[in-house]
Amino acid sequence: MTRKQRRLTIIGGALFVLAVAAGLVLNALRDSIVFFSTPTMVAEKHVPPGKRFRLGGLVQPGSLKRGADLAVSFEVADGGAKLPVAYKGILPDLFREGQGVVAEGALDASGVFKADTVLAKHDETYMPKEVADSLKKQGHWKDDYGKPQAGAKPGPVSMREGEKTAAGATQ
Amino acid sequence: MIAESGHYALVLALALALIQSTVPMLGAAQRDVALMNVGRSAALAQLLFAGLSFIALITLHVTSDFSVANVFENSHSMKPLLYKITGVWGNHEGSMLLWVSILALFGAMVALFGNNLPLSLRARVLAVQAWVAAAFYLFILTTSNPFARLANPPIEGRDLNPVLQDIGLAVHPPMLYLGYVGFSISFSFAIAALIEGRIDAAWARWVRPWTLMAWIFLTLGIAMGSYWAYYELGWGGWWFWDPVENASLMPWLAGTALLHSAVVMEKRNALKVWTILLSILTFSLSLLGTFLVRSGVITSVHAFASDPTRGVFILGILVLFIGGSLTLFAGRATALKQGGLFAPISREGALVLNNLLLTVSCATVLFGTLYPVIMEALDFKLSVGAPFYNLTFGPLFALLLLMVPFGPMLAWKRGDLVAAMQRLLAAGITALVAIAIAWAWARGGSALAPLGIGLGVFVITGAMVDLVERSGLARVPFKTALHRTRGLPRSVWGTAFAHAGLGIALLGIVCETTWNSELISTLHPGDVRNLAGYQIKFDGMTQRQGPNFAEVISTFVISEDGRQLAVMTPSKRSFATRGMSTTEAALMTRGVSQLYVSLGDTTADGGLAVRIYHKPLVLLIWFGPVLMAFGGLLSLSDRRLRVGAPQPARGLRAMQPAE
């Protein structure tokens, strides 16, 4: 092999690995990304049953019902619309009616949001950023919801955040 | 007084860093020995003052001086002493002070142990190190002063976030920073080499121990953080693909690639330009990590403090250093002389493949971390979680692991793939047997788990085969082989341990994710539940008052076949000062598997919601990295790498460009 051929082999190999990685990323982007939605957005967009998304809003006061064997149901509201949520498992330490919540799961055929993960707000002065932003947009922001943390740019609530500080519940 | 002294010490450290960043550089350009030596004393003095400043902040926290804003916001007079100390870096200002103190420590270490370096190289390395330091001193002094006083000192502090009141905070951040910041040295060496315009195998020899040391700390830091999250969060997860975790994983991946490419450069004088680029990229990723965590771009548990001015400042540092170094690289790299030739099938070829896969898998992590931020700016809200990484990072890393045993089997320059395969035959057969056993035991199920186990076994036995081959155990009498084994260079042992550690971690990951069983239930005192062959009896609850919290302890008696094994006491702690509560999970370890009990709420009828997990082989996930770090340590103690060790005659010749 000449120097040139060897170099070409290495460059070819590198391009091949890069192409494989790009293919993997594009493939993963198609179905492993979870979008964030509020009850209003769900009502407007007609999200199909079974499509996973993150639902954010406030837990409607008086809507929390505990069933047998750790089954719970509650409603998530954002001022414009309400969406019933069903969940089975332990709710996070900081889950409370009237407070912010983010749940991950999908709608079932009857329009109930089946959550498999529930994240509650971070601490007494913080609410999930997605929830705060959408409430503000719709003019339902009240100061007593607490101040969202100011960042250079808003970022999405990560899994860890909810789970580490508020001990988010996973089924 | 202490606060003002600490602040003043920090200003002095900045002044010293400014001197250190210019004078030695000037000296190196003019070949003035006296000016070059200024770098050495400046680096040592800088450590002194940065250290004094750090000690001042610790003293303020220990003495609970609530007239200092940082202490007021993050401490409480009733807090145990350990958490008063660790609380120093449990907040933005303090953690940045730790960051620069460690940076100063590394600078001083180069100054102290860099006696074997050419004078001009040492001067330039120290200068570049000081550029980074100066930028961060400025950042702290202008945006995050930890010594700011309050006009009306309150009587009591606001306490540290309860989640952080744990021994994990004492170990995890300092360890992680020693790794993160440690890569600044290879960065400084790379920039110095580019300025110098001369780079050879000796450069790689000098840089490798520093890189290795940073890598060891980063490996342990990441593993430690993962274990901390596992037992503290209360739901048994150990890796979340959280941006903050990714921020530490990315420099680790790039740093691992750098370690391997530096070997090629040292042994074969090849891949020089690439190694320089990797040194720059690794530290750039460390800086990016600091930016992600500290700016609040991605609000996350570690990003307790955030403020746009800070974000913009760190972004400025990021752009300046990454942009500047890459520009310098683009300008100078072509001038560097290209090194040795090698065939694609060779040790070098294998290491190139290793580098490719490591950097590309690092790129997928980078993409997954930044994609939501970019989309957020375009007003799409989405989250990238484990499924994304399982589909991208997963296959790439699996491919890398498959290649790992082949690398050490191939000769330098021109390897024989068939011979390597023959030597790995035993490892391959062992792996196939493991797959068959795992598949039969799991009775069908997903094919992925047995394959994962087979891959782990292949990597482990492959590492052992390498040692056996080198000792000639199969060919020569046992005694000779034993003697040879003892005589093997420590770096060979290090490689074997590090590679085996990868396989062991993989075994733990596969077993835990596949056969982890859990039970969520509401229990009343006296109730018994069964999980994974254990009987778990809930005995009741007791109350206890801790130093700064009230605690409700639940007692569980664990038995197996009627024999009592252990009493587990998970608890709920409520911290009055912050109005927060935490869940302390209880763990029972048997072998390398664990039983994990965590608590939920009490129900209206006096029941207690409980989560119980059985996690088979879960401890292997962290034993693997510990073994990897141990391998790194062995390699670091190899006489070939020991800094300042007397070199044999052969070594002297290697100081010249090899061949």
Summarised one tens digit per residue, pLDDT across range B522-574 is: 899 999 999 989 999 999 899 999 888 999 999 999 999 889 999 999 999 98
The predicted pLDDT at position A119 comes to 77
Who's near A170: CB < 8 A, 6+ residues apart? A89, A116, A117, A163, B235, B237
B238 touches chain A (CB under 8 A): no
Q: Is A102 helix (H, G, I), strand (E, B) or coil?
A: strand
The pLDDT of residue B185: 95
pLDDT number for residue B247: 92
Q: Sign of torsion, CA B613 B617 B620 B621?
A: negative
Confidence band (pLDDT; 50, 70, 90) for A169? very low
Give how far A40 is from chain B: nearest CA, Å.
Answer: 15
Angle (CA) A165 A167 A170, round 5°: 140
Q: Distance between CA atoms of B388 and B368, rounded to whole angstroms? A: 8
Facing B383 at nearest CB: one of A17, A25, A156:
A156
**3-state helix vs strand vs coil in chain B, percent to 5:** 65, 10, 25
Q: Where are the alpha helices (DSSP H) in B412-472?
A: 417-423, 425-442, 448-471
* Residue A96 backbone phi and psi in degrees, to 5: -145, 150
Report the interhelical angle of B167-196 vs B324-332 (nearest 10°): 30
- The β-bridge partners of B571 are B553, B584
Averaged pLDDT, A148-168? 32
Statement: residue A142 has pLDDT above 60:
no
Q: A153 vs chain B: nearest CA distance in angstroms?
A: 5
**Average pLDDT for residues A17-30, to the nearest whole number?**
90
Instruction: For residue B193, give the nearest of B104, B260, B265, B241 by alpha carbon.
Output: B265
Question: Cα B328 to the chain's mean position, in Å?
Answer: 28
> Which residues is B580 bridged to in the sheet?
B575
Task: Give the SS3 label for residue A79.
Answer: coil
A35-170, superfamily in CATH? Answer: Nucleic acid-binding proteins (2.40.50.140)
Number of H helices, E strands in chain B: 22, 11
Q: pLDDT value at position A31?
A: 75
Q: Does B163 touch chain A (CB under 8 A)?
A: yes
The conformation of residue B153, written as its DSSP 8-state character, comes to: -
3-class secondary-structure state, position B645: coil
Provide the 3-class DSSP secondary structure of residue B6: helix
- The answer to whether A152 contacts B583, with C-beta atoms less than 8 Å apart, is no
Closest CA to B508 of B362, B388, B617: B617
CA angle (B221 as vertex; B54, B600 as ends), nearest 5 = 100
Cβ-based contacts of A157 with chain B (< 8 Å): 299, 383
Report the distance separating Cα B55 and Cα B88, nearest Å.
10
Please answer yes or no on whether A6 and B343 come within 8 Å at the CB atom.
yes
As a whole number of angstroms, the distance between CA A53 and CA A59 comes to 17
Domain boundaries, chain A: 1-32, 35-170
Q: Could you report the per-residue pLDDT of A86-134, keeping only the tens digit for each?
A: 998 888 766 778 878 888 889 998 889 999 888 765 433 345 555 566 6
Q: Which residue shows structure tokens 């993160």?
A: B180
Neighbours of B7 (CB within 10 A): 20
Which residue of chain B has the CA closest to A123?
A: B580
Judging contacts by C-beta atoms under 8 Å, the chain A residues touching residue B306 are 149-152
Contacts of B75 (CB under 8 A, 6+ apart): B61, B64, B66, B84, B87, B157, B158, B159, B160
CA distance B323 to B325: 6
Q: How far apart are CA B499 and CA B512, in angstroms?
A: 20
A–B interface: beta-carbon pairs under 8 A: 188
* CB-based contact A159 B307, cutoff 8 Å: no
Q: Do B235 and A150 touch (CB under 8 A)?
A: no
A89 to chain B: which residues are within 8 Å by CB? 520
B137, B99 contact by CB (below 8 A): no
Q: Is the dihedral of CA B130, B132, B138, B144 positive or negative?
A: negative
What local confidence, expressed as pLDDT, does residue A125 receive? 38
CB B375 within 8 A of CB B351: no
pTM, entire model: 0.89
Query: Residue A155 and residue B295: Cβ atoms within 8 Å?
Result: no
Measured between beta carbons, the chain B residues lying within 8 angstroms of A90 are 520, 600-601, 609, 611
Nearest-Cα distance to chain A for B645, in Å, is: 36
Contact status of B374 with chain A (Cβ, < 8 Å): no
Phi, psi of A155 (to 5 degrees): -125, 160
Question: What letter would DSSP give residue A123?
Answer: B
In the numeric block, which tokens belong to residue B487?
């005589």
| B522 interfacial to chain A (CB closer than 8 Å) | yes
What is the DSSP-derived secondary structure letter of residue B379?
A: T
B234 torsion bin: left (phi>0), alpha (psi -120 to 50), beta (else): left
Alpha-carbon torsion angle B93, B98, B104, B106, nearest 10: -150
d(CA B225, CA A167): 17
Parallel, antiparallel or unpaired: strands A65-66 and A71-77: antiparallel
Specify the 3-state DSSP secondary structure of B286. helix
- Give the Å distances, CA to CA, from A54 to A34, A57, A88, A94, B97: 7, 10, 17, 18, 37
**Distance to chain B for A109, nearest Cα, Å:** 23
pLDDT at A165: 34
- CA-to-CA distance for B611 and B236, rounded, in angstroms? 10
Contacts of B288 in chain A (CB under 8 A): none
Q: With contacts defined as CB-CB under 8 Å, which chain B residues touch A158?
A: 240, 242-244, 298-300, 383
Cα angle for residues A8, A11, A12 (degrees, 5° grid): 80
Per DSSP, the three-state class of B318 is helix
CB–CB of B535/B528 below 8 Å? yes
Shortest CA gap B52–chain A (Å):
31
Res A171: pLDDT: 37
Q: Which two tokens stand for residue B377?
A: 């700016």
Q: Are A153 and B311 within 8 A, CB to CB? A: yes
Q: Show the low-confidence residues of chain B (pLDDT under 50).
A: 300-306, 643-659
Rounded Cα distance, B630 and B607, in Å = 47
> What are B287's two structure tokens?
């800086």
